[in-house]
């Protein structure tokens, strides 16, 4: 079994408090691809150096979304309707139930994701209050402008700014 080491060269900071992150350990993480294939990644777990925060963070590659094992591009294609249960490439993996779950997951998280992206843009781009009240959908703009790749970009913006996409949106 091949295992790919994921190791960023960037200086990592805690998205929750802004303190530096320090290497703690590594763990294996599966990456499932269409058609039933899988790869294993060795991802670093980083711990916040602040005594007040001390949270753990996984350093994920862009191809993985937190709490999802399948490729982010495949999830995006299912949500966008590019890939469906009828496609022969995905005949067995992911199964029909998994695809249905992804569409449900995105639908239930769409408002949360919009708010998280809007807040991250407001916080880091120093935009005024009018921006927060604007009716324009940033998530919609991402989907139009960055295709393929909008889900990766949205997840990166949300998680790197201390936000979260709920793995089980009924908790919202």
Domain contains 20: yes
- The domain total for the chain is 2
Give mean pLDDT, residues 116-130.
Answer: 80
Does some domain include residue 150?
A: yes
Q: Are residue 77 and residue 130 in the same domain, yes or no? A: yes
The runs of H, that is alpha helices, within the chain are: 72-80, 96-125, 129-133, 138-145, 150-160
**What range does the domain containing 21 cover?**
1-61
Identify whether 103 is part of a domain: yes
Same domain for 86 and 43?
A: no
Q: Could you report the per-residue pLDDT of 53-111, keeping only the tens digit for each? A: 999 999 999 899 999 999 999 999 999 999 888 876 666 678 889 999 999 999 999 99
* Largest Cα span, the chain: 53
171, 132: one domain: yes
Q: What is the pLDDT of residue 99?
A: 92
pTM of the model: 0.86
> 9 in a domain, yes or no?
yes
Q: Is residue 26 part of a domain?
A: yes
- The answer to whether residue 140 sits within a structural domain is yes
* Residues 102 and 147 reside in one and the same domain: yes
For 13-59, the pLDDT digits (tens) are 999 999 999 999 999 999 998 788 899 999 999 999 999 999 999 99
């Amino acid at each position: 079994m091949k295992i790919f080491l994921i190791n960023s060269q960037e200086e990592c900071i805690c998205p929750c408090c802004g303190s530096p992150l320090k290497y703690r350990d590594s763990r294996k993480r599966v990456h499932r691809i269409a058609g039933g294939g899988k790869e294993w990644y060795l991802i670093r777990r980083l711990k916040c150096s602040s005594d007040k925060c001390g949270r753990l963070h996984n350093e994920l590659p862009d191809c993985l979304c937190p709490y999802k094992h399948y490729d982010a591009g495949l999830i995006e294609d299912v949500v966008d309707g590019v890939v469906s249960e009828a496609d022969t490439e995905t005949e067995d993996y992911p199964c029909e139930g998994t695809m249905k779950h992804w569409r449900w997951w995105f639908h239930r998280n769409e408002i949360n994701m919009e708010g998280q992206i809007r807040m991250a843009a407001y916080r880091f781009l120093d935009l005024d209050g009018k921006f927060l009240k604007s009716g324009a959908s940033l998530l919609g703009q991402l989907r139009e402008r960055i295709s393929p790749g909008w889900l990766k970009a949205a997840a990166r913006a949300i998680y790197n700014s201390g936000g979260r996409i709920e793995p089980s949106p009924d908790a919202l």
